[in-house]
């Protein structure tokens, strides 16, 4: 076989090639025809779970959080947060432990609560495809993560076929959901000739607070709030309202085998409540510029990318949380403004070289430069006459000052197809992570905010903050395909993640400052640790996949896995030597309930479990249509091996079963979600147990050639339940005052909701 033919085949079969083939739109058919001629190497371990486009289209009507698009992917669970800021966990490893690429950009949460999680920078209305690489991820897609990789791609512009006239297409969609009075819309428009293509896509979504199926606390008049007070019902989940908009402009140029893509993105969230954080997002604005080049050559393919993303983020108390603190006689603190600015620049060069019919080499380099400032202006900004010192004045509190986290990664991967049945992949990645932060300060020189006498700010400032980590990742996978209906895959991966800026540099032992550093959603108080080391995960995983050769027919997939994490970054009760010897800190050392003082610390952990998913055709006839049963089940266990404790936010055993009926343009689905009790909880964090539950959802859609209608009812039986990974309810009241709010209410899930969505395609 000629090298050139192999190159084309490889280009079609492998991740980068797939992206390219999709980008060149209609020409994809031509390339696919070539694929059939030769033996297409199955991309090893690079075989992700893909969320089908039709599924994304249907979900736009009932989901506004991009992270929730992953809800049906085996092995993925979700830390719920704000309405558009969920944090996906893969096999129990969440947040920064998962590498999330949005249009190729490694986005970073620029917030002490991780409110602007990477997936909050795009919206389901703009997303075209989502791929999840669980556990054993190829090193070419990993780096600085231990849980896996999520690749999200926005809709790309489409080129016309050579010799054909220009194409124009567009889509306009809208939805309404009864619970929370949520509504939104999305618009996309694209034009393309055979060499130039451009597109715009935008989306908007808004929701009020949602309600649970029943009261979970007494109804109350909110006091001291920014709006002067309003009634919060007993079933109303405070601080769950949001509004978000996203825009993306994309220009693509194609010349022979070269493709250049220029993207400009804008995100704006004017408000987003957080029911499990003590503060709310009151502003988030992000600009993204992203330039990509893809080339197809006789020797293989080349991809390169440069991007910059800039975020301005602000937090304060939204409508439901107390805004005014203190008494008029002394001073009044009107809210607590917190500001963050993140600047993220990255570059990537990646090549795939076809060495022979058997061997493929993939190598490249990645660079990321990240800067973060997190500062809290004084409140009040001007002290009243006669008052010399307010609690949060007169200076600006610097939480992270000139934070720096830079990464340089180099990787190489060798993929070999020994014969039609056996494939192997071996990859190595080296990564240098360089971190630093500048001099910090409290609101004033009082004992509280500079931590004196035990932990004066000078203690932190006098230490060297520069940290360099040299991290190594290894991935090895073997795939055996004895028959078309069966494939077996086994792999081992060693993956490394360096601590984030907050884990290393959040410095203040003051209770109120510690409350504000929390990405667990558990209401506890956290302080960083300058001595943290990177965490190193060793994962072994096996996947057996039986399936019919016809798509959408029967299939069964089983993935057991085991991960041991050295230096896992967990938390310990903050020792008095770090957080001071106040009564509260001393009591916290042995407390078994309530909010506690915690410090990030390296320990060891293990996680293991199994994912099972399958599809069975039930009925298929020309009159009655096609009835299919689908199901997935996940079991996961996570323990801290240093303390014997359970890991935090581990999804209890859960299953999802659905019957899908397709006839003519209709797709009707009855879906059930079954979740067991969460009884294995993290004691160090006083994690709350949650009860088991079963939910039913009805969904219907009808597709015409140029339109699509979606109707449904989520939580059909209006069942009350607590979100197993939803954290502690801190959605209303005096959330700034430590334990002034109850610590024993889990955040409940949404009660019944009716929804409708309509999409027009032209
Ligand atoms: Cu924030």
* Cα(579) to centroid(ligand 1), Å: 23
Sign of the alpha-carbon dihedral angle for 225, 230, 234, 238: negative
* Cα(454) to centroid(ligand 1), Å: 28
* Cα(669) to centroid(ligand 1), Å: 37
* Cα(115) to centroid(ligand 1), Å: 5
Token digits of residue 212 = 């649970």
Cβ(150)–Cβ(99) below 8 Å: yes
Mean pLDDT of 728-744: 94
Which DSSP string do the residues of 609-661 spell out, in sequence order?
EEEEEEEEEEEEETTTEEEEEEEEEEEEEEEETTT-PBPSSPPPSEEEEEEEE
Asked if pLDDT for residue 454 goes beyond 80, the answer is no
- What letters, b where the CB count within 10 A reaches 16 and e where it falls short, cover 1-32? eeeeebbbbbbbbbbbbbbbbebbbebeeebe
Q: Distance between CA 207 and CA 272 in Å, rounded?
A: 9
DSSP 715: S
* Cα(550) to centroid(ligand 1), Å: 47
Asked if pLDDT for residue 13 goes beyond 60, the answer is no
Token digits of residue 402 = 């000139």
Residue 648, C-beta contacts closer than 8 angstroms, at least 6 positions apart: 520, 522, 570, 681, 682, 685, 687
* Sheet arrangement for strand 105-106: 49-51, 127-134, 148-154, 98-102, 105-106
Mean pLDDT of 274-287: 98
DSSP 104: T
Q: What percent of the chain has pLDDT over 70?
A: 92
* Cα(319) to centroid(ligand 1), Å: 16
How many helices and strands (H and E) does the chain possess? Answer: 10, 35
Q: Distance between CA 573 and CA 623 in Å, rounded?
A: 64
* Cα(109) to centroid(ligand 1), Å: 9
Mean pLDDT of 694-709: 97
* Cα(155) to centroid(ligand 1), Å: 28
CA 353 to chain centroid, in Å, comes to 32
Q: Distance between CA 104 and CA 20 in Å, rounded?
A: 13
Mean pLDDT of 744-753: 98
* Cα(335) to centroid(ligand 1), Å: 14
* Cα(272) to centroid(ligand 1), Å: 10
Asked if pLDDT for residue 2 goes beyond 50, the answer is no
* Cα(370) to centroid(ligand 1), Å: 17
* Cα(629) to centroid(ligand 1), Å: 42
pLDDT in tens, 126-170: 999 999 998 789 999 989 999 999 999 998 889 998 888 899 999
DSSP 121: G
* Cα(536) to centroid(ligand 1), Å: 28
* Cα(624) to centroid(ligand 1), Å: 52
Q: Distance between CA 166 and CA 191 in Å, rounded?
A: 7
Cβ(88)–Cβ(120) below 8 Å: no
Q: Distance between CA 80 and CA 139 in Å, rounded?
A: 28
Q: Distance between CA 25 and CA 194 in Å, rounded?
A: 10
pLDDT in tens, 378-389: 998 887 777 766
* Cα(120) to centroid(ligand 1), Å: 12
CB atoms inside a 10 Å sphere around CB 515: 24
* Cα(518) to centroid(ligand 1), Å: 10
CA angle 372, 376, 378 (to 5 degrees): 155
CB atoms inside a 10 Å sphere around CB 534: 20
* Cα(342) to centroid(ligand 1), Å: 12
Predicted pLDDT at 617: 93
* Cα(320) to centroid(ligand 1), Å: 16
CA angle 746, 747, 749 (to 5 degrees): 125
Cβ(695)–Cβ(723) below 8 Å: no
* Cα(617) to centroid(ligand 1), Å: 46
The most distant pair of C-alpha atoms in the chain lies apart, rounded to whole Å, by 88
Q: Distance between CA 592 and CA 645 in Å, rounded?
A: 13
CB atoms inside a 10 Å sphere around CB 345: 17
Predicted pLDDT at 388: 67
* Cα(114) to centroid(ligand 1), Å: 6
Q: Distance between CA 208 and CA 439 in Å, rounded?
A: 40
* Cα(281) to centroid(ligand 1), Å: 5
Asked if pLDDT for residue 36 goes beyond 60, the answer is no
Of the two residues 708 and 21, the one the predictor is more confident about is 708
* Cα(314) to centroid(ligand 1), Å: 6
* Cα(397) to centroid(ligand 1), Å: 15
Sign of the alpha-carbon dihedral angle for 105, 111, 112, 116: negative
Q: Distance between CA 177 and CA 752 in Å, rounded?
A: 10
pLDDT tier for residue 14 given thresholds of 50, 70 and 90: very low
* Cα(311) to centroid(ligand 1), Å: 11
Half-sphere exposure at residue 279, Cβ-oriented, CA atoms within 13 angstroms: 26
* Cα(599) to centroid(ligand 1), Å: 20
Asked if pLDDT for residue 10 goes beyond 50, the answer is no
715: left (phi over 0), alpha (psi -120 to 50) or beta: left
Q: Distance between CA 47 and CA 543 in Å, rounded?
A: 11
Half-sphere exposure at residue 557, Cβ-oriented, CA atoms within 13 angstroms: 21
* Cα(338) to centroid(ligand 1), Å: 8
pLDDT in tens, 562-602: 999 999 999 999 999 999 889 999 999 999 999 999 999 99
Q: Distance between CA 328 and CA 204 in Å, rounded?
A: 41
* Cα(156) to centroid(ligand 1), Å: 31
| Residue among 428, 419, 541, 540 at smallest CA distance from 480 | 419
Asked if pLDDT for residue 44 goes beyond 50, the answer is no
Which residues are registered as beta bridge partners of 753?
714
Under DSSP, is residue 377 helix (H, G, I), strand (E, B) or coil?
Answer: coil
* Cα(493) to centroid(ligand 1), Å: 33
Q: Distance between CA 254 and CA 271 in Å, rounded?
A: 40
pTM of the full predicted structure? Answer: 0.92
* Cα(597) to centroid(ligand 1), Å: 20
pLDDT in tens, 598-655: 999 999 999 999 999 999 999 988 888 999 999 999 999 999 999 999 999 999 999 9
* Cα(194) to centroid(ligand 1), Å: 44
* Cα(163) to centroid(ligand 1), Å: 51
* Cα(283) to centroid(ligand 1), Å: 9
Question: For the chain, what is the mean pLDDT?
Answer: 91
Q: Would you state the torsion angle of the CA atoms of residues 39, 486, 415, 362, taken in this order, to the nearest 10 degrees?
A: 90
* Cα(245) to centroid(ligand 1), Å: 17
103: left (phi over 0), alpha (psi -120 to 50) or beta: left
* Cα(137) to centroid(ligand 1), Å: 30
Q: Would you state the torsion angle of the CA atoms of residues 22, 490, 49, 141, taken in this order, to the nearest 10 degrees?
A: -60
* Cα(108) to centroid(ligand 1), Å: 12
DSSP 338: E
Q: Distance between CA 294 and CA 349 in Å, rounded?
A: 10
Task: Tell the residue number behind the tokens 């190829």, with chain if given.
Answer: 138
Cβ(720)–Cβ(212) below 8 Å: yes
Cβ(50)–Cβ(74) below 8 Å: no
Asked if pLDDT for residue 18 goes beyond 70, the answer is no
* Cα(508) to centroid(ligand 1), Å: 17
* Cα(278) to centroid(ligand 1), Å: 10
Q: Distance between CA 490 and CA 502 in Å, rounded?
A: 36
* Cα(735) to centroid(ligand 1), Å: 15
């Amino acid at each position: 076989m000629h090298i050139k033919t192999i190159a084309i085949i490889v280009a079609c079969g492998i991740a980068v090639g797939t992206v390219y083939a999709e980008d060149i739109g209609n020409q994809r058919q031509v390339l696919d025809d070539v694929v059939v001629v030769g033996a297409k190497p199955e991309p090893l371990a690079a075989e992700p779970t893909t969320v089908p486009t039709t599924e994304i289209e249907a979900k736009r009507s009932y989901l506004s959080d991009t992270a929730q698009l992953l809800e049906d992917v085996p092995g993925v669970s979700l830390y719920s947060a704000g309405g558009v800021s969920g944090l996906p966990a893969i096999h129990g490893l969440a947040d920064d432990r998962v590498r999330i690429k949005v249009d190729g950009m490694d986005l970073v949460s620029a917030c002490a609560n991780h409110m602007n999680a990477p997936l909050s920078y795009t919206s389901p209305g703009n997303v075209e495809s989502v791929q999840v690489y669980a556990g054993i991820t190829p090193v070419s897609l990993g780096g600085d993560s231990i849980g896996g990789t999520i690749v999200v791609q926005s809709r790309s512009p489409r080129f016309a076929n050579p010799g054909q006239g220009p194409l124009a297409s567009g889509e306009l969609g809208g939805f309404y959901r009864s619970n929370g009075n949520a509504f939104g819309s999305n618009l996309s428009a694209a034009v393309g000739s055979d060499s130039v293509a451009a597109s715009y896509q935008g989306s908007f979504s808004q929701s009020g607070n949602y309600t649970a199926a029943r009261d979970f606390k007494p109804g109350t008049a909110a006091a001291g709030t920014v709006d002067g007070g309003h009634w919060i019902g007993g079933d109303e989940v405070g601080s769950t309202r949001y509004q978000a908009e996203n825009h993306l402009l994309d220009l693509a140029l194609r010349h022979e085998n070269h493709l250049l893509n220029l993207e400009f993105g804008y995100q704006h969230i004017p408000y987003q409540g957080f029911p499990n954080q003590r503060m709310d997002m009151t502003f988030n604005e992000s600009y993204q510029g992203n330039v990509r080049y893809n080339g197809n050559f006789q020797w293989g393919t080349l991809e390169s990318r440069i991007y910059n993303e800039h975020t301005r983020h602000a937090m304060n108390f939204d409508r439901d949380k107390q805004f005014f603190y203190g008494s008029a006689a002394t001073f009044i603190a009107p809210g607590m403004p917190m500001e963050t600015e993140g600047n993220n620049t990255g570059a990537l060069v990646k090549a795939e070289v076809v060495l022979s019919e058997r061997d493929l080499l993939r190598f490249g380099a990645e660079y990321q430069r990240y800067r973060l400032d997190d500062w809290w202006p004084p409140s009040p900004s001007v002290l009243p006459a006669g008052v010399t010192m307010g609690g949060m004045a007169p200076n600006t509190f610097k939480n992270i000052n000139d934070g720096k986290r830079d990464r340089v990664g180099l990787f190489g991967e060798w993929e070999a197809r020994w014969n039609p049945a056996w494939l192997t992949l071996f990859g190595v990645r080296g990564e240098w992570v360089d971190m630093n932060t500048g001099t910090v300060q409290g609101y004033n020189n009082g004992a509280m905010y500079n931590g004196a006498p035990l932990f004066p700010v000078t203690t932190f400032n006098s230490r060297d903050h520069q940290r360099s980590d040299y991290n190594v990742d290894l991935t090895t996978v073997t795939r055996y395909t004895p028959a078309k209906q069966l494939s077996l895959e086994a792999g081992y991966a060693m993956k490394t993640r360096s601590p984030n800026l907050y884990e290393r540099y959040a410095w203040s032992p003051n209770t109120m400052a510690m409350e504000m550093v929390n990405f667990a959603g558990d209401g506890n108080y956290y302080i960083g640790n300058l001595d943290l080391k990177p965490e190193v995960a060793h994962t072994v995983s096996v996947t057996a996949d039986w399936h019919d050769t016809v798509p959408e027919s029967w299939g069964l997939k089983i993935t057991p896995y085991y991960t041991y994490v050295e230096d896992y970054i967990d938390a310990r009760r903050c020792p008095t030597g770090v957080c001071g010897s106040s009564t509260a800190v001393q009591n916290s050392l042995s407390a078994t309930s309530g909010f506690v003082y915690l410090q990030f610390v390296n320990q060891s952990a293990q996680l293991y479990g199994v994912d099972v998913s399958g599809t069975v055709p039930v009925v298929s006839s020309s009159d009655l249509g096609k009835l299919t049963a689908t199901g997935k089940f996940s079991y996961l266990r996570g323990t801290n091996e240093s303390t014997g404790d359970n890991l935090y936010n581990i999804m209890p055993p859960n299953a999802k079963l659905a019957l899908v009926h397709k006839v003519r343009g209709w797709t009707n689905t009855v879906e059930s979600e079954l979740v067991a009790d969460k009884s294995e909880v993290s004691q160090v964090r006083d994690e709350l147990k949650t009860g088991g539950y079963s939910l039913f959802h009805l969904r219907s859609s009808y597709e015409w050639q140029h339109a699509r209608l979606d109707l449904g009812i989520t939580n059909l039986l209006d069942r009350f339940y607590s979100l197993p990974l939803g954290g502690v309810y801190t959605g209303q009241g005096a959330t700034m005052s430590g334990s002034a709010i109850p610590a024993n209410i889990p955040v409940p899930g949404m009660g019944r909701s009716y929804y409708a969505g309509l999409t027009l395609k032209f």
